Amino acid sequence: MPGELSPIDKAKFVAAKRAADMVEDGMRVGLGTGSTAAWLVRHLGDRVRDEGLRIKGVPTSARTAQLARQVGIEVITLDEAGTLNITIDGADEFDRDLNLIKGGGGALLHEKIVAAASEEVVVIADAAKEVGTLGAFPLPIEVIPFGWTTTQMLVEELLVAADVMGRRITLRMNAGKPFLTDEGNHILDLHLSRIGNARQLAMALNQMPGVVENGLFVDLCDKVIIGYSDGRVETRDINEGTVSEDRIDLVENDNLFSDI
């Protein structure tokens, strides 16, 4: 129930609610991955059930696909959709230019492909995700398992000349084994503390043999919706240069808060 949520979850709840209201009948919608995106999927499922909203969702991960089907959203592949009207996803960090770090949930490759196929990309987040400079959150890069230690060595050499503060790299683990993405790849987390030039670093990382994709999302986000625990919601549109604010009532909804 809203009253039982933590302040952070309340912020995620209202940001996702505002974003869900942007979705219109007949849209093809990219569905992000992570805790904030899960709220979005539940809100959209609520609209499908109560309003008869007809949408087709393209999930960015297997777990998002499972949740979407559970709440009644029609799930299709990106190949079936072709292009998307909108993608709504969370972020681990965003800056004032709406550049992002994503991939904390391990779905950065699918998330970036889906975002690139979208007419509009909207990020939903709590206020704690905003930073002056990207890099406090470890930057994920997806690498193929073959020769991943060599790939790590090449990335370490690259970081020596990069405009970053830290250079420690760790292999992401899960239950004592290397974490596997939906594509069967590993993730290296780059602990950089500060990234001076996100665009330059993203391009350089993707030139490394073995690197499939990196978690820097540059020039992809059109809007960010920031939620606050008191129900306030702030929407920033990077293209229009506008900032608006409203409020979402934290009203109990049995469908959203059931254990699905």
Q: Known binding site: residues?
A: 33-36, 89-92, 102-105, 129
Pairing of strands 86-89, 93-94: unpaired
- Tell me which residue of 150, 152, 131 sits closest to 226, measured CA to CA: 131
CATH class entry, domain 2-131+219-257: alpha beta
Both tokens of residue 233? 């919601």
Q: Tell me the average pLDDT across 86-105.
A: 98
Say whether 111 is catalytic: yes
Q: Where are the domains of the chain?
A: 2-131+219-257, 139-215
| CATH fold match for the domains 2-131+219-257 and 139-215 | no
Alpha carbon distance 156, 169 (integer Å): 8
Pairing of strands 121-126, 223-227: parallel
pLDDT in tens, 123-178: 999 999 999 999 999 999 999 999 999 999 999 999 999 999 999 999 999 999 99
pLDDT of residue 153: 98
- pTM, entire model: 0.94
Say if residue 253's pLDDT is above 80. no
Catalytic residue, chosen from 24, 51, 111, 156, is 111
Q: Known binding site for substrate: residues?
A: 33-36, 89-92, 102-105, 129
CATH superfamily of 139-215: ACT domain (3.30.70.260)
